[in-house]
Amino acid sequence: MKRAVVTGASSGIGKAITNRLLTLGYEVIGVSRNIQDNDFNHAHFQALTCNLAEEKETIKLCQRLKKENIFILVNCAGFGRFEPHEELHVNTITTMSFLNLTAPMLLTNALLRSLKENEGYLININSIEALRASKFAAVYSATKAGLKAFGDALFEETRKSRLSITNINPDMTQSNFYDELRFDVSPKEDEKLVAADIADAIEHILTMRKGAVVTEYTLRSLHFGIAKKTKR
């Protein structure tokens, strides 16, 4: 049975992707700060707890996963804060940079040989912010644009192999990503994405003819919408 690693698997987009891969017949190693085997209650799911914002924990995880035979790596874990840059705490900047960009590069470094040998898939869950400039999103956009650049360059580097590399750039997606933010996705169905939309994209990528690669996959809601939260 082919094995996949999904970071951020405990909720939101990562959880939807994990469930979809299990449905498609993959064995999935789900990585998150707070995750347990019974979160999915599936014989082919294995939970690995790790805070991917912490360097030592991430390196330890990489050393462990390097011994595994992996067919798919989905770098999904991440978070964002959207404030005037001078108001961001230094810890927020360093944590966001490590979790959104450094951790995926370290995990890819650890698993790349296995992914190439298995003619597998590397999928980075980026953001629409990787493709545009938005106010109050300088650090978040920089990390996502960096991850996209990493995936693009790695595609060229590994092109002689049969590894497929895709950057997925979702627009605002209903998930717990917005729990601590001042805004949320629109409640209207045509003004938001849902996590299943990104899982659909993953399934599409995995079921395509292996000789073709969608290197960049952008998903937008049909109409634009945003919901401002009331102050408490």
- Domain harbouring 205, CATH code: 3.40.50.720
How many CA atoms are closer than 13 Å to the CA of 163, on its beta-carbon side? 26
Q: Count the domains in the chain.
A: 1
Q: Write the pLDDT tens digit of every residue in 164-187.
A: 999 999 999 999 888 888 888 999
* Torsion-angle region of 154 (φ positive above 0: left; ψ -120 to 50: alpha; else: beta): alpha
* 207 close to 23: Cβ distance less than 8 angstroms: no
pLDDT digits (tens, 9 = 90+) for 3-30: 999 999 999 999 999 999 999 999 999 9
CA–CA dist 182, 81 (Å, integer): 10
- 25 lies in which domain range? 3-228
Going by C-beta distance under 8 Å and a sequence separation of 6 or more, which residues neighbour residue 72? Answer: 2, 3, 4, 5, 21, 26, 115, 120, 121, 122, 123, 206
User: What is the pLDDT, as a whole number, of residue 160?
Assistant: 93
- Residue 65: how many CB atoms within 10 A of its CB? 19
Q: Express each pLDDT in 132-156 by its tens digit.
A: 988 999 999 999 999 999 999 999 9
